Chains A and B, each alone.
Chain A
């Protein structure tokens, strides 16, 4: 059986074992640059074992053996796997290599599964018999031009793991580790080495020696080695770095940085002195969870402080994902009733005063709950909802109530509001459920707190109107914006996490002008109904106090906090734009709010407020609502706006731009009307804008003409004149209404 020229050892006394099944294959050899077919046969991987006489040791020799398909004793190929031969798997069915004699050989398998099995065999041989051979997969790239090489198996160069590391050995280690990041195979082998051979311990030992002997170059090398290991993105390595034994040392190594060769950070000092500690308010019995809490902190510290300038996007994501897995486990733990964790926190705020709970402990509790919300930020939406519902069910709202009513420390109150904002921004329906739960609860306990489902809105209103802290005002305002934005209720697939009120209003305008909500399905209708009920409650119970200064004529607006007025104007804007006209318009018009609102555009007020009022009016106009428009025109409410314009007519400033923007938008609408070519009797939309143009040009034409630095003011006037002429010629046509007649201001509800 040993006819191959390559055989160095005779078959005598050799024991042959077969490692693969027979796979059908064609054998080629390269001769004169051409592949020559030398026959078809069955390929197997075999190993021959032979005792070497002088040493009595066993030697194993591995072969790729191909036997002719027609005759069992006809060997087509017997090629030893030895030394540093590199086998290439090309595409699915080809194995190609050059043997030690320089002969190029190719095996072309009938099926890829055959090729798979022989490749596995090569890997087996590399691992167990001939460690220096290698197998590389070669695939052409998608564009067909280039090729990708990937090591499947082969010798792996690993750093020296001797106890006494030198500058040379560390430099070599860094070089090797960098090389090994490039292929998955080398990477995985290196990771196994680091873990199994306790390489980190070697590095740490060397670190202590180097620091003691002030071997500065070694320290920089060690730092770079640790950083390179982090880029391996291995959970095992990372977890070894952050365990109790190693974390401080790893941070120590990373204090040295080649980028800043003349200085050293002081992470160890920070960790020891400032002690950002795990404050275990409620004892946790589960050691795995305790470990995860610590590890989560340590990873955060690595990511945000120690490695902050170093991590690439991939490693950043890797660490973030690992943290997320800890966070998920921690949140899961908190929700297990058997742990009683959240119960214990929330019981500190129960109505019956527990004298053993100190104010500081209660403050810590609020910090802890705030941290729960922060910790859950990266969870997926469903997990978050479940967790928040859990907190609410356990009585989170009682804690909030406590913070609002009893707590005096502003920082803590701000954290409490932040919790509310966090819940609302995630899912507004949550608060609804809080409120209804809370109502029952409070009623049961005969509490004297106002027992309506508007209690949260009322609290927020009170903070917004009366609290001195700008931070709390800001947050309660944000919370009210979220609570009053119907988008958050109805359009559940529309993720409006943009908490800028102006953007929200822009979105609404787009929805109103473009989308039609006719096709609401049953569920939507139900939601819509609930929303209407909720909003009606708001307009009955909350709005009158929230907008008291706009309703009560005896309040001197000039004496109000103007920053607060800006926020109120923004809220009104949101309500007018976002709530069904049938609900909001009555409140707005019956209380004469617009009259007071536009008075804020007068020169008594700061410009931010004046322009906020102008923008609110602009948005009302483009609602294209007959009632509002007649009201505004009938009461000549545009006067203050054109006062602002007159004042800034020749100024190139924000006031000027804001009004130009308004006029430009109106002119654009007029052009749409013209294109539709529907004269006076046309659609509601065209009629309203033509009407407004007529009013504006008639009343403020002289101001418009002075704004000759833009073209649309002239265009508006031209349309006005054209329409007046048309009107004159069609004297029988009734004009839609008399602008000075405001007796028809019945408001539909």
Chain B
């Protein structure tokens, strides 16, 4: 079993970590995560980050541009995996940070942190390609089940991956969900991870087939009922990195620059200070380099010998 700091360094370089070490990491992560509330309380100052989607090198840029885990507190709004080519390394790096600096990082579950979605959108295939079998994927999925569903900053900023749910009027109701399960296809837990804000008058069907569309009315009601000022969520690509809606009652934060290595968007993180001021940091995809200064072009690991 490798040491935590050693694993962190290996992951930062995008290198291979052995199966048994990952197993131990995942078991430790479960123990840590299960002590967290479904909606975890976080103090300012804190940096809120949106979707990562396996773009390890951009995640490293994110930390570099926003001060680093050693000195700052972070909330990640989920969707660590799928799409990019380093889902495993990105997720494990965040998990390692969580283990190394438990009070400095909150990892919220996104709609991609499920068995069903990762089987289709890349994470599962990535693991099979890197390890020849799916065990590591299973260990990670088990951790997904323990991730909190939301966070709240200074009781004023509600953080969630997707959005609101008609089944959740007050934040306190989220407490009564046993979250250790695959994300269901409907109900409060599903909606929190799947819903989107939209210019609609009332709860509407979502074209995604899960969750709802909600508008200004729902947001205003939610903010008032829970006396919060802002809903910070991710889940949707924003070309400018972030987008405020509903008179500043909601913001979408997106942290995967040049999404899928071709969307051409910039990324953003949102810092909330002690006086509750909001400060966005914008960053672009930059070329990754290994420890020797050589450029790394993001790619999938090629397959080795083949028999057929």
Instruction: Tell me, yes or no, whether A452 is within 8 Å of chain B by CB.
Output: no
Contacts of A474 in B (CB 8 A): 135, 138-139
Is B182 a contact partner of A304 (Cβ separation < 8 A)? no
B71 within 8 A of A: no
B203 to chain A, nearest CB (A): 21
Beta-carbon contact of B307 and A368 below 8 Å: yes
B307 touches A309 (CB 8 A): no
Interface mask (A423-445 → B, CB under 8 Å = 1, otherwise 0): 00000000000000000000000
Q: Please name the residue on chain A nearest to B129 by beta carbon.
A: A304
Closest A residue to B39 by beta carbon equals A652
- List residues of B (288-308) whose CB comes within 8 Å of A's CBs: 295, 297-300, 302-308
Residue A475 at the B interface, CB < 8 A? yes
Residues of A124-178 at the interface with B, using a CB-CB cut-off of 8 Å, are none
Given A611-B34, A653-B37, check contact A304 B132 (CB 8 Å).
Answer: no
Check A656 against B175 for contact (C-beta < 8 Å): yes
Instruction: Say yes or no: A606 contacts B115, CB within 8 Å.
Output: no
Residues of chain B lying within 8 A (CB to CB) of residue A661: 176-178
Stretch at the interface among B23-31, B95-103, B154-162, B216-224: B23-31
**Which residues on B sit within 8 Å (CB–CB) of A654?**
33-36, 38, 146, 178-180
When distances are taken between beta carbons in the complex, the residues of chain B under 8 Å from A470 are 19-20, 23, 135, 139
Q: Tell me if A375 and B300 are in contact (CB < 8 A).
A: no
Stretch of A209-217, A255-263, A671-679 contacting B (4+ beta carbons < 8 Å): A255-263
- Contact of B67 with A by CB under 8 A: no
Q: Contacts A474-B135, A506-B184, A653-B34 given; indicate if A367 touches B307 (C-beta within 8 A).
A: yes
Interchain CB contact under 8 A, A265 and B182:
no
Q: Is B133 a contact partner of A263 (Cβ separation < 8 A)?
A: no
Option from A309, A374, A414 in Cβ contact (under 8 Å) with B299: A309
User: Which residues of the partner chain B approach A308 to less than 8 Å between Cβ atoms?
Assistant: 85, 261, 298-300
The answer to the question of B3 belonging to the interface, with a C-beta cut-off of 8 Å to chain A, is no
Chain A residues near B132 (CB-CB < 8 A): 370, 411, 414-415
Which residues of chain B are within 8 angstroms of A606 by Cβ–Cβ distance?
A: 31
Q: Is A85 an interface residue (CB 8 A)?
A: no
A475 CA / B31 CA spacing, docked (Å): 22
Closest A residue to B289 by beta carbon equals A263
- In the complex, are the beta carbons of B298 and A608 less than 8 A apart? no
Q: A498-B115, A658-B178 are in contact. Are A310 and B262 (CB under 8 A)?
A: yes
Among A367, A415, A470, max chain B CB count under 10 A is at A470
Chain A positions 640 through 669: 1 when the CB is less than 8 Å from some CB of chain B, otherwise 0: 000000000000111111101110100000
Is there an interface contact between A503 and B175, defined as CB atoms closer than 8 Å? Answer: no
| Cross-chain contact of A372 among B133, B180, B303, B308 (Cβ < 8 A) | B308
From A198-206, A273-281, A576-584, give the one contacting chain B.
Answer: A273-281
Q: Is B277 an interface residue (CB 8 A)?
A: no
Asked whether A620 is an interface residue with its Cβ less than 8 Å from the other chain, the reply is no
**What's the least CB distance linking A171 to chain B, in Å?**
22
Q: Please measure, in the bound complex, the distance between the C-alpha atom of A202 and the C-alpha atom of B87, giving whole angstroms.
A: 40
B15 contacts chain A at the CB level, 8 A cutoff: no
- Knowing A276-B306, A471-B19, A654-B34, the reply to whether A506 touches B181 (Cβ < 8 A) is yes
Query: Which residues in B have their C-beta under 8 angstroms from that of A372?
Result: 308
Kindly identify, within residues 257 to 280 of chain B, every residue whose CB is under 8 Å from any CB belonging to chain A.
260-262
Q: How far is the CA of A305 from the CA of B37 in the complex (A)?
A: 41
For B, the interface residue count at a CB cutoff of 8 angstroms equals 52
- Interface segment, A50-58, A241-249, A293-301, A629-637? A293-301
- Residue contact A658 to B180, C-beta cutoff 8 Å: yes
Q: How far is the CA of A500 from the CA of B308 in the complex (A)?
A: 31
A304 to B308, CA, bound (A): 17
Distance to closest chain A CB from B67 (angstroms)? 28
Known: A260-B287, A260-B295. A277 touches B178 (CB 8 A): no
User: What residue in chain A is nearest B30 (Cβ atoms)?
Assistant: A608
Pick the contact of B135: A475, A506, A656, A658 (CB < 8 A): A475
B225 to chain A, nearest CB (A): 15
Which residues between 367 and 402 of chain A lie within 8 Å of chain B, taking CB atoms? Answer: 367-368, 370-372, 374-375
Given contacts A263-B297, A475-B135, whether A500 and B141 have CB atoms under 8 Å apart is yes
- Complex contacts, A469 vs chain B, CB 8 Å: 20
Residues of A within 8 A of B115 (CB): 498-500, 503
Q: Which of B135, B146, B184, B299 has the most CB of A within 10 A?
A: B135
CB distance from B112 to the nearest CB of A (A): 15
**A 550-569 contacts with B by CB, 8 A:** 563
Contacts of A92 in B (CB 8 A): none
Q: Would you call B227 an interface residue if the criterion is a C-beta within 8 Å of the partner chain's C-beta atoms?
A: no
A471, B135: Cβ atoms under 8 Å?
Answer: yes
For A330, what are the chain B residues with a Cβ–Cβ distance below 8 Å?
308
B138:A371 contact, CB within 8 angstroms: no
Closest to B149 in A: A657
A334 to B307 CA separation, bound complex (whole angstroms): 12
* A590–B300 alpha-carbon span in the complex (Å): 54
Do A305 and B135 touch across chains, with their CB atoms under 8 A apart? no
Flag whether A21 is at the interface (Cβ < 8 A): no
Do A660 and B175 touch (CB < 8 A)? Answer: yes
Docked-complex contact B85 and A263, CB < 8 angstroms: no
Residues in B with CB closer than 8 Å to A664 are 176
Nearest CB in chain A: distance from B264 CB, A: 10
Residue of B nearest to A660 (CB): B176
Chain B, 163-180, CB within 8 A of any chain A CB: 172, 175-180
Find chain A residues with CB under 8 A from B30 CB.
Answer: 608
CA distance A276 to B176 in the complex (A): 53
A660: min CB distance to chain B, Å: 4
Chain B nearest Cβ from A234, distance in angstroms: 22
Q: Mark B27-52, 1 if CB is under 8 A from A, else 0.
A: 10011011111100000000000000
A654-B35, A658-B180 as given contacts; A300 in contact with B133, CB under 8 Å: no
A239 at the interface (CB under 8 A from B): no
Expressed in whole angstroms, the minimum distance between the Cβ of B29 and any Cβ of chain A is: 11
Asked if A615 lies at the interface with its beta carbon under 8 angstroms from chain B, I say yes
Instruction: Give the chain A neighbours of B204 by CB distance below 8 A.
Output: none
A611 touches B20 (CB 8 A): no
Q: Could you tell me if A608 and B31 are in contact, using CB atoms closer than 8 angstroms?
A: yes
Q: How far is the CB of B185 from chain A (nearest CB, A)?
A: 10
The chain B residue with its CB closest to the CB of A270 is B302
The answer to whether A710 and B297 touch (CB under 8 A), given A263-B287, A474-B135, A498-B182, is no
Instruction: Indicate whether A278 sits within 8 Å of B182 (C-beta atoms), given known contacts A660-B175, A709-B172.
Output: no
Distance in Å from the Cβ of A372 to the closest Cβ of chain B? 6
The residue on A at minimum CB distance from B33 is A654
Contact of A710 among B134, B176, B287 (CB under 8 A): B176
Query: Does B202 reach chain A (CB closer than 8 Å)?
Result: no
Q: Convert A399-423 into 0s and 1s, putting 1 for each residue whose CB lies closer than 8 angstroms to a CB of B.
A: 0000000000001001100100000
Provide the bound-state CA to CA distance between A657 and B91, in Å: 25
Q: How far is the CB of B116 from chain A (nearest CB, A)?
A: 6
Residues in B neighbouring A712, C-beta threshold 8 A? 176
16 further interface pairs, Cβ-Cβ under 8 Å (given A474-B138, A655-B34)? A260-B287, A262-B287, A274-B304, A309-B260, A330-B308, A375-B308, A414-B133, A498-B115, A499-B115, A500-B182, A653-B34, A654-B33, A654-B180, A657-B178, A657-B179, A710-B175
Using CB atoms and an 8 Å cutoff, list the residues of chain A in contact with chain B: 257, 260, 262-263, 265, 270, 274, 276-281, 293, 296-297, 300-301, 304-305, 308-310, 330, 334, 364, 367-368, 370-372, 374-375, 411, 414-415, 418, 469-471, 474-475, 478, 498-500, 502-503, 506, 563, 606-608, 611, 615, 652-658, 660-662, 664, 709-710, 712
The 10 closest A-B pairs by CB, nearest first: A661-B178, A309-B261, A652-B37, A368-B307, A263-B295, A654-B34, A660-B176, A471-B135, A470-B23, A304-B300
A-B contact pairs, 11 of them (CB 8 A): A274-B302, A293-B306, A304-B302, A364-B307, A411-B132, A474-B135, A498-B116, A611-B34, A611-B180, A660-B176, A709-B175
